């Protein structure tokens, strides 16, 4: 697999972001390049002053799901922010903000957490993705 | 990239449909064929008499997300319906309704917006998709 | 298409699981190997004592969507559990639980429905997926 793994992150809830971070770290550990493209509510979650907040869970998590997540966190589970930071040390993980979503949310580049490497349009995303898998989360 | 991009649209909220339309238009602008397969709530959003309605946003959008979307729309942002119409002028974009979801929702082909090119089953979807990327939104 | 189709199931609502089951069965009917990787709320839905419950629908389904789903079920539509069982008779469908999600939800392997073939980590998932399409549902 020389082709990169390409993740379009749309959802900004902690459960989906955790799933995305694990998929990213797993691919990076295998030496695969990973391109992450942040849109909408996922982009919002990467704002410098938002990133360490509680971003909620999908509605279907329910009270029981919430308890499981809180319990694991209290037991020391690392959050998606830290999983992504570690993934960047394992291999080439490039995280780009979608320029259209930046406009939508009124975000400027300095507002973004240092995890984000830049801002690009959808065309650049496709060119970097090549024939690699594209996963929308 | 000679392989088509294949989008399975499941969700019928305006934010996910807008993300899907931008991915479609971006691929079409690069000359890639795009196959769109409409299921469940996304199919419902393509009903002739529903398509121009407000289809809501993902719950996680919250009040603030709603305001951002409304603000951009008032500033003249084109909706996903129009982005898809423009994408069809840029390149080969084929939009098919899933036959099983047609049955589920009790929709007949004349009920669908002219953006939809036909009705097909999942087997036809796979055959058209070939080895191209499949993205579920 | 010699490459497998790879589905990461995250959501545990009946509508998304039904869509996933139909995509699985369609690929299996075409002779393609299918790898299913269960995370989070989807994994929870595959617990032996949960699988035949009502798992709800995405919030956007609304009352009308609920009625459509109930109506089809009363008319004899087969649920996703049975569609997956049938898919396993059609072709090679391998369903694996994500080990991290097992920990999150406090699930042990005997708690899982016999539809689940085993437990694996994300690395094994990628190695089995090869260059095949990856779809996150």
Per-residue confidence (pLDDT) for residue A2, from 0 to 100: 79
Per-residue pLDDT of chain B (137 residues; tens, 9 = 90+): 579 999 999 999 999 999 999 999 999 999 999 999 999 999 999 999 999 999 999 999 999 999 999 999 999 889 999 999 999 999 999 999 999 999 999 999 999 999 999 999 999 999 999 999 999 99
**Contact between A133 and C130 using a beta-carbon 8 Å cutoff:** no
Query: What gap in Å lies between CA C40 and CA B118, rounded to an integer?
Result: 35
Residue A9: both structure tokens together: 């992150």
| Cross-strand bridge partners of residue C92 | none
Per-residue confidence (pLDDT) for residue B44, from 0 to 100: 97
Per-residue confidence (pLDDT) for residue B4, from 0 to 100: 97
- What percent of chain C has pLDDT above 70? 99
Of A66-80, A113-127, B34-48, C119-133, least confident by mean pLDDT is: A66-80
Cβ of residue B134 closer than 8 Å to a chain C Cβ = yes
Give this complex's ipTM.
Answer: 0.95
Contact A96, A34 (CB under 8 A): no
Per-residue confidence (pLDDT) for residue C47, from 0 to 100: 98
B87: closest CA among B17, B134, B40, B12?
B17
Residue A65 burial (CB count, 10 A) = 20
Cα nearest neighbour of C134 on chain B: B134
Contact B104, C70 (CB under 8 A): no
Which of A3, A6, A14, A19 to mutate: most C Cβ within 10 Å?
A19
Cα nearest neighbour of A121 on chain B: B26
Per-residue confidence (pLDDT) for residue C110, from 0 to 100: 98
C11: closest CA among B40, A85, A125?
B40
Contact A78, A47 (CB under 8 A): no
Per-residue confidence (pLDDT) for residue C2, from 0 to 100: 79
**Contact between B60 and A41 using a beta-carbon 8 Å cutoff:** yes
Query: What gap in Å lies between CA B116 and CA B123, rounded to an integer?
Result: 18
Overall average pLDDT of the C14-38 stretch: 97
Query: What gap in Å lies between CA A19 and CA C37, rounded to an integer?
Result: 12
Query: What gap in Å lies between CA B110 and CA B11, rounded to an integer?
Result: 22
Cα nearest neighbour of B137 on chain A: A136
**Contact between B11 and C72 using a beta-carbon 8 Å cutoff:** no
Helices H / strands E in chain C, number of each: 6, 5
**Contact between A136 and B133 using a beta-carbon 8 Å cutoff:** no
Cβ of residue C79 closer than 8 Å to a chain B Cβ = no
Show Cβ contacts of residue B34 under 8 Å, excluding neighbours closer than 6 positions.
B4, B5, B6, B7, B24, B27, B28, B87, B91, B92, B93, B94
> Which chains, if any, share at least 3 CB pairs under 8 A with chain C?
A, B
- Place A1 in a pLDDT band, splitting at 50, 70 and 90: low
Cβ contacts (< 8 Å) between A72 and chain C: which residues? 103-104
pTM, two decimal places:
0.97
Residue A66, min C-alpha distance to chain C (Å) = 10
Residue B93 burial (CB count, 10 A) = 26
pLDDT in tens, A58-110: 999 999 999 999 999 999 889 999 999 999 999 999 999 999 999 999 999 99
Cβ contacts (< 8 Å) between A25 and chain C: which residues? 122
B22: closest CA among B44, B37, B7, B1?
B7
pLDDT in tens, B22-44: 999 999 999 999 999 999 999 99
Residue B31: both structure tokens together: 């000359």
- Place A22 in a pLDDT band, splitting at 50, 70 and 90: very high
A18: closest CA among A112, A65, A66, A82?
A82
């Amino acid at each position: 697999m020389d082709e990169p793994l390409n993740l379009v992150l749309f959802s900004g809830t902690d459960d989906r972001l955790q799933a995305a971070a694990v998929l990213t770290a797993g691919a990076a550990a295998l030496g695969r390049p990973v391109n992450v493209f942040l849109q909408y509510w996922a982009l919002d979650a990467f704002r410098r002053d938002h990133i360490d907040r509680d971003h909620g869970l999908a509605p279907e998590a329910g009270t029981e799901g919430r308890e499981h997540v809180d319990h694991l966190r209290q037991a020391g589970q690392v959050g998606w922010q830290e999983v992504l930071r570690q993934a960047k040390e394992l291999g080439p993980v490039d995280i780009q903000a979608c320029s259209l979503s930046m406009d939508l949310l009124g975000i400027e580049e300095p507002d973004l957490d240092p995890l984000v490497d830049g801002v690009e349009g959808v065309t650049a995303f496709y060119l970097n993705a090549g024939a690699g898998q594209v996963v929308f989360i």
